Structure 1
Amino acid sequence: MSSKLDHSKLTPAGVLITMGIIFGDIGTSPLYVIKAIVGEKEISELLVYGGVSCVFWTLTIITTIKYVILALNADNKGEGGIFALYARLRKYKSKWIIYPAIIGCATLISDGFITPPISISSAVEGLQLINPDIQTVPIVLVILLSLFIAQQFGTAKIGSAFGPIMLVWFGMMAFFGVMEISKHPEILAAINPLYAIQLITNYPEGIWLLGAVFLCTTGAEALYSDLGHCGKANIRFSWGFVKTALLLSYFGQSAYVMQFQGKLLPDVSPFYALMPDWFLPAGIIIATGATIIASQALITGTFTMVNEAMKLRLWPRLKVEFPSQLKGQIYIPAINWLLLAGCTIVVLIFRQSSNMEAAYGLAITVDMLMTTTLLSFLIFTRFKSWLPVIFFALVFYTIEGTFFLSNANKFTHGGWFAFLIAISLFLIMYALHKAGKIRKKHVEFEKVENYLPIISKLKDDKTIPLKSTHLVYLSRSSRQDLVETNIIHSMIRSTPKRAGVYWFLHVDILDEPFGLYYEVNALSEGCHYVKLKLGFKEPHKINLMFRQVVSEMMEKKSVTDKNIHPSLSGFDIPADFKFIITNSRLTVDTFLHPFDQFFIRIYRILKLWSVSITEDFGLEEADVEVETVPITIHAKEKLKLQPWTPSQKS
């Protein structure tokens, strides 16, 4: 089943699947948002009405207008998210746009370490209403462990149940919200934005309350990132129902809280307080199921984002598995266990959802600001005018900047954890980006035509041992007329390598998410340049793709399909292949700037933890040779080296 193809159009099934995939994070926010706003403060009309008014307008302006209406139009061939946006914009050759992309990715993933613990903890803590002495931390840890263990088996079989479960979840929230609002319909007056303005301006330290309000929209960025799974039509249609259910729950909880006006809110979850006692066990089960689905969506989204970063050369190469036939579903073991470790640490450090609320949301505000930055640039490229850019940026930088400031006081209360992870992830991605630029700067290319006569004679030189029938060099050159010096060094200058056919193979990652293309150019008889073009979401099955291209050329008799080793040439034995990978290594780091040296060292450490390019490209280990070719960076000034003379003896 292809989620990308089958569910991109508006259909009842597409809407149902969308609710199970897209809205898990934002859909479970009612478990803790109102409780976080009220906290341990005395209940007042200004606090409650102002708080729920802020929630209403945040969901309207940020989630609905920015993401559901505007951001979903900023897709890249149907794919969304900050990397899809970056891939769409990098053709404009603006060097700075890489930084919002990697900052946004780092902060989105870092806050993801808190999303499963806070969601599942909020649901499971409902058990304390039935048994006040129950310990919820072990239960949360068992659920998290089971969830992450299950990732390696895929979710194709149980994924079909996500939509119906979330439909029940949203329906349940809406029902109990309506029941409570019917008792106190005056709460609907909080839709008036004046209540939100009064909370910020008149309530003591009211601006800091926006840190709790912001929790209602933390899933908006994930909504944009998951665009490719369901399509904008299904997301927009289902958002109308989801937003209504969310608001009914928020307003219903606020109506319940108002009965304690002049007092402190008892140690009770406003969300569960709307349910009758007889329904509470069922409500807890449904809520726990919804939070597990929300966590599953976040984990899947993290796998997708890291995979995109790897394709864009912004993340170390990691092993990627495909646990099911569902298109786009991947499993990255290293990231899975890293997320489990991070989520476990969060649960053990903070223990209760109320403590996690203090750490949640700070990093995600940075991610939203980065998305706003890239969207502003996209608007400029589309309209070629600064007026719409200024209007868009002024509105959303002001709102999201205010949210960032209101969340700033969370840093010492746990926000440091998310920022520590974000900074670590940023350094990883920036180091790879920076090292790539340094290496690219020092990779030298030469004209292929200067070496074609040598290659032609090399093919016929019987004094040189035959390396392979087909000798394939993986090339960094995106042009058929250029080849890097490393390859010439390996082929001719180091140890001459004779072959029947020489290939220069270049892999190009496209700015679009999907698509597999190739180009073949004959440089001379027995020497060819092949360029494979892959969408940035396509798996790297380079060995399979290349051999398919060669097979087509063999059918056309463009290249030999016979093994040319003399002892085997008379038998029906297929032609053999040998892939050569040349790894360049800087030999004189002392001539690099210290800043560059630092990131080269980080790059080398990361490379030790990465899978080999052989595994990443799906090549057969037995058919691959890896050579290290030195790159010498010369000093900027010549040494004053003089000949020794006898008169200089002491």
Structure 2
Amino acid sequence: MALQEQGEEGKEEVFEEEESTEEEAHSNGVIGLRRYDSLDAEAGKITSTKSSKDGDWRSIMALAFQSLGIIYGDIGTSPLYVFSSIFTDGIKHNDDILGVLSLIYYTITLIPLLKYVLIVLQANDNGDGGTFALYSLICRHSKVGLMPSQQAEDREVSNFRLDLPSRRSKRASKIKASLENSMFAKYFLLVATMLGTAMVIGDGILTPCISVLSAVSGLKQAASSLNDDNIAWISVVILIFLFMVQRFGTDKVGYTFAPIITIWFLCIAIIGILNFFKYDPWVFKAINPKYIVDYFKRNGKNAWISLGGVVLCITGVEALFADVGHFSVRSIQISMCSMVYPSLIFAYTGQASYLRKHMDDVSDTFYKSIPEPFYWPMFVVAMFAAIIASQAMISGAFSIVQQSLSLGCFPRVKIIQTSNKYEGQVYVPEMNYIIMVACVVITLVFKNTEKIGNAYGIAVVFVMTLTSAFLVIVMIMIWKLNIIFVILYILVMGSMELLYLSSVLYKFNDGGYIPVGFAVFLVAVMIIWNYVYRMKYMFEMEHTVASERMAEIAVDPSLRRVPGLALFYSELVNGIPPIFEHYISNVPALHSVLVFVSVKSLPISKVPRDERFLFRRVGPSELLLFRCIVRYGYKDTMSSEHETFDSLLVQGLKEFIKQEGLKVNEEIEVEVETVEREMKAGVVHLLGESEVVAKDGASFWKRIVIDYAYHYMKRNLRQQDEVFTIPRQRLLKVGMNIEL
């Protein structure tokens, strides 16, 4: 908590040039709403209250229990395969078991418990975590975002506000200035975030493979005739079923997750304690790190290579941070410390005790160490736990895609909200089938967990290392910690994670290429889409319709006004998009009420609904032309609100008209009545879609990126109206060509 308090002291305003104005207003006794002008006019009033998930202890404990089923399935099922992944060539010396157990002790203690639960969780973004949360936190405290869509009004969103610092830090200011003045740093942060999210999606592919394969392999003990091919095909059937039910969402079975995972943790803990007393109680001496030193002395390079298997004991640890938004920091700390951590320690200790007496059983440690009366019940629970772990990581991959999409870093796909109880649980049809095919192929090709474990290790350690790198920036620039604490963190956590990363990269040719290849492909897709997206945005910014031209359009006698309310969508948040003039030139008619709608994403996780719409008036009041910026956070789902989108927007528009205060009451009432009447007459959605092509003289690579790669992705994925689920009977697309 000390970190959090120190971080609160160090928070800094993004819009530094505006701080003096605000301070002057307060010093002069001027209290009230500041009026910004990034839309060339007053943008409307913004009010909100911020709620917290941390309430009474009953609520916290309920959240702690629920978190067991959503967050810990992956790390909880790691005892299924850790020892077999470490000792791939068998156990050479009995004391090697103590060395490995000591490594497991300190790995679980230092990374999930110390790093994530006590430190990283404090770096949440208004209660949300993950790679995008860290990136958005950095973007909000320094101008490192590449999209020129920032507006002064954004800082008035309650979740966006940053406290004025009580003291300035020279070191923090230097880091901030360095990031803001370096295009390399801006691109590096964005690409690193893309790479981290790609690895997490890769995690969503590998978790089902290794978890289900490990659980199903228990059948070998009951039916020795089953071979790896049989186990692989049984696993494939389970995997296909798992992906087929994804569209129903976890909400339908959410209540069963926590009890099953709780039973799982209790079972592995009890079995671990029984084995501890039955076989070798003296394994507890592995708490002495001397056994780690001895292990490396005996095995040298092979001990270093085995670290790739040790790191699998913390698979899914990133979910602790990524899913904090579904629960709370305190609830996750309680569930980890009271249930997960001790259960894992008991489980690995019990397996080590068993192996001290049965070294030859290391390839199937988990099922061999189960007392015979408990075998079938544990097999059933293990299957359910593996399925739950897989489902949680798949759902997490969908959430990552949603965040990438909101920042213009992913091709358009449909996002479907699947839960009314848990925010952020979404379903992405395209990604579901892509991940399913990848899981089936990987399972059938490798057939066992050894090579999949090598691939899994790279994905796990890379994301952990990236989180540490971003966290160091947060520590220095935002929390403004004493440099001694930062150096200590780098020396302990950084060196440990880099050591693990070097080990898993050594196994690149033995399966490690899977997540790396997938991540490179996915990052290439994201970079291409983001590059063209930004170029198109910059073109539209440079060719906005001038205010003089809008005045000419307004008084043009040939322009007819037709009944109804029209929403004209574009991505541009500043000015009138050039596609509007293209529309007027070909269709010289305007609806009685016209609202230019731009959807933008803020570098925060969620925008409160009552702060979502930002309005201004375009042209003379009698024209009833308005501008509306619809603001979402990277975890908000646009399509889930479409049933009420029209009514919410019109309600916000009426409030804006009433609050403008530029006209007498009678005029306001008439204007509000006109808006209501035209909405009843019918709402038409005008969707601006620009086709981009490489201009004459463009370089070869630019033509490849724009004319082929980008166009291929756009043709084979959802159109914008499908993403926003706009009713086709009320949709009119307006297109134009843009040469880049």
Which segment is superposed worse, 106-115 or 321-330? 321-330
The answer for the alignment partner of 1:231 in structure 2 is 328
- Rate the CA distance shift 1:170–1:438 in 2: closer, same or farther, 3 A: same
The answer for the alignment partner of 2:645 in structure 1 is 545
The answer for the alignment partner of 1:401 in structure 2 is 498
The answer for the alignment partner of 1:490 in structure 2 is 583
Q: Distance in 2 between matches of 1:299 and 1:306?
A: 11
Q: Distance in 1 between matches of 2:652 and 2:692?
A: 39
Q: Distance in 2 between matches of 1:558 and 1:50?
A: 81
Give the alignment partner of residue 733 of structure 2, picking from 608, 626, 634: 626
Q: Distance in 2 between matches of 1:402 and 1:374?
A: 18
Question: Aligned to 1:520, what secondary structure does the other structure show?
Answer: strand
CA drift of 1:24 comes to 0.4
Report matched runs for 1:85-484 at 5 Å.
Answer: 85-91=134-140, 92-94=142-144, 95=186, 96-134=188-226, 135-183=230-278, 184-205=280-301, 206-240=303-337, 241-260=339-358, 265-266=360-361, 269-328=364-423, 329-384=425-480, 388-443=485-540, 444-446=542-544, 448-458=546-556, 461=557, 463-464=558-559, 466=561, 469-479=564-574, 482-484=575-577
Which residue identity lines up with residue 210 of structure 2 in the other structure? I
- Rate the CA distance shift 1:58–1:589 in 2: closer, same or farther, 3 A: farther
Report matched runs for 1:568-587 at 5 Å.
Answer: 574-587=680-693
CA drift of 1:33 comes to 0.5
Report matched runs for 1:7-18 at 5 Å.
Answer: 11-18=60-67
Which residue identity lines up with residue 107 of structure 1 in the other structure? M
CA drift of 1:231 comes to 1.5
Judge conservation of contact 2:196–2:463 (CA < 8 Å) in 1: yes
Q: Distance in 2 between matches of 1:588 and 1:204?
A: 56
- Rate the CA distance shift 1:439–1:371 in 2: closer, same or farther, 3 A: same
Which segment is superposed worse, 20-29 or 398-407? 398-407
Cα deviation digits, residues 310-331 of structure 1 (max 9, x gap): 2222222212223443333322
Question: Aligned to 1:265, what secondary structure does the other structure show?
Answer: helix
Q: Distance in 2 between matches of 1:552 and 1:384?
A: 40
- Rate the CA distance shift 1:587–1:14 in 2: closer, same or farther, 3 A: closer
Which residue identity lines up with residue 348 of structure 1 in the other structure? L
Judge conservation of contact 1:561–1:574 (CA < 8 Å) in 2: no
CA drift of 1:465 comes to 5.0
The answer for the alignment partner of 2:710 in structure 1 is 603
Cα deviation digits, residues 526-571 of structure 1 (max 9, x gap): 221112222222221468434433245459646465699xxxx9xx
- Rate the CA distance shift 1:383–1:354 in 2: closer, same or farther, 3 A: closer
CA drift of 1:201 comes to 4.7
Question: Aligned to 1:589, what secondary structure does the other structure show?
Answer: coil
Which segment is superposed worse, 9-18 or 95-104? 9-18
The answer for the alignment partner of 1:643 in structure 2 is none
Q: Distance in 1 between matches of 2:201 and 2:393?
A: 9
- What TM-score comes out, normalization by structure 2 length? 0.78
The answer for the alignment partner of 1:646 in structure 2 is none
Report matched runs for 1:9-28 at 5 Å.
Answer: 11-28=60-77
- Rate the CA distance shift 1:324–1:383 in 2: closer, same or farther, 3 A: closer
Q: Distance in 2 between matches of 1:276 and 1:610?
A: 52
CA drift of 1:603 comes to 2.1
Cα deviation digits, residues 493-532 of structure 1 (max 9, x gap): 4543333233222222122222222122122222211122
CA drift of 1:60 comes to 1.3
- Rate the CA distance shift 1:502–1:12 in 2: closer, same or farther, 3 A: closer
Q: Distance in 2 between matches of 1:544 and 1:464?
A: 31
Which segment is superposed worse, 511-520 or 68-77? 511-520
Structure 1: stretches of 5+ with no match in the other structure: 634-650
Q: Distance in 2 between matches of 1:494 and 1:388?
A: 64
The answer for the alignment partner of 2:120 in structure 1 is 71
- Rate the CA distance shift 1:175–1:78 in 2: closer, same or farther, 3 A: same
The answer for the alignment partner of 2:21 in structure 1 is none
Q: Distance in 1 between matches of 2:643 and 2:559?
A: 27
Judge conservation of contact 2:240–2:436 (CA < 8 Å) in 1: yes
Q: Distance in 2 between matches of 1:130 and 1:354?
A: 22
CA drift of 1:99 comes to 1.6
Judge conservation of contact 1:469–1:501 (CA < 8 Å) in 2: yes
Judge conservation of contact 2:545–2:578 (CA < 8 Å) in 1: no
Give the alignment partner of residue 512 of structure 1, picking from 596, 604, 626: 604
Q: Distance in 2 between matches of 1:355 and 1:49?
A: 25
Which residue identity lines up with residue 251 of structure 1 in the other structure? T
CA drift of 1:588 comes to 4.1
CA drift of 1:250 comes to 0.8
Q: Distance in 2 between matches of 1:592 and 1:448?
A: 28
Judge conservation of contact 1:43–1:258 (CA < 8 Å) in 2: no
Q: Distance in 2 between matches of 1:412 and 1:558?
A: 72
Judge conservation of contact 1:43–1:257 (CA < 8 Å) in 2: no
Q: Distance in 2 between matches of 1:177 and 1:574?
A: 67
Q: Distance in 1 between matches of 2:295 and 2:243?
A: 41
Which segment is superposed worse, 87-96 or 341-350? 87-96
Which residue identity lines up with residue 295 of structure 1 in the other structure? S
Q: Distance in 2 between matches of 1:154 and 1:631?
A: 40
Judge conservation of contact 2:88–2:363 (CA < 8 Å) in 1: no
Q: Distance in 1 between matches of 2:652 and 2:336?
A: 48
Q: Distance in 1 between matches of 2:505 and 2:250?
A: 37
Cα deviation digits, residues 409-451 of structure 1 (max 9, x gap): 3221112222221111111211122222222332224465323
Structure of greater Rg = 1
- Rate the CA distance shift 1:522–1:250 in 2: closer, same or farther, 3 A: same
Q: Distance in 2 between matches of 1:208 and 1:573?
A: 67
- Rate the CA distance shift 1:63–1:573 in 2: closer, same or farther, 3 A: closer
Which residue identity lines up with residue 545 of structure 1 in the other structure? F
Judge conservation of contact 1:38–1:47 (CA < 8 Å) in 2: no
Question: Aligned to 1:316, what secondary structure does the other structure show?
Answer: coil
Q: Distance in 1 between matches of 2:346 and 2:679?
A: 72
Structure 2: stretches of 5+ with no match in the other structure: 1-51, 145-185, 656-667
- What TM-score comes out, normalization by structure 1 length? 0.88
Q: Distance in 1 between matches of 2:679 and 2:566?
A: 17
Q: Distance in 2 between matches of 1:293 and 1:468?
A: 53
Judge conservation of contact 1:468–1:578 (CA < 8 Å) in 2: no
Cα deviation digits, residues 167-188 of structure 1 (max 9, x gap): 1111111111112222412111
The answer for the alignment partner of 1:535 in structure 2 is 633
Which residue identity lines up with residue 294 of structure 2 in the other structure? Q
Q: Distance in 2 between matches of 1:102 and 1:425?
A: 8
- Rate the CA distance shift 1:441–1:157 in 2: closer, same or farther, 3 A: closer
Judge conservation of contact 1:475–1:505 (CA < 8 Å) in 2: yes
Question: Aligned to 1:161, what secondary structure does the other structure show?
Answer: helix
Which residue identity lines up with residue 127 of structure 1 in the other structure? L
CA drift of 1:236 comes to 0.8
Q: Distance in 2 between matches of 1:59 and 1:74?
A: 20
Which segment is superposed worse, 64-73 or 88-97? 88-97
Question: Aligned to 2:440, what secondary structure does the other structure show?
Answer: helix
Sequence identity of aligned pairs in percent? Answer: 27
- Rate the CA distance shift 1:590–1:57 in 2: closer, same or farther, 3 A: farther
CA drift of 1:298 comes to 0.9
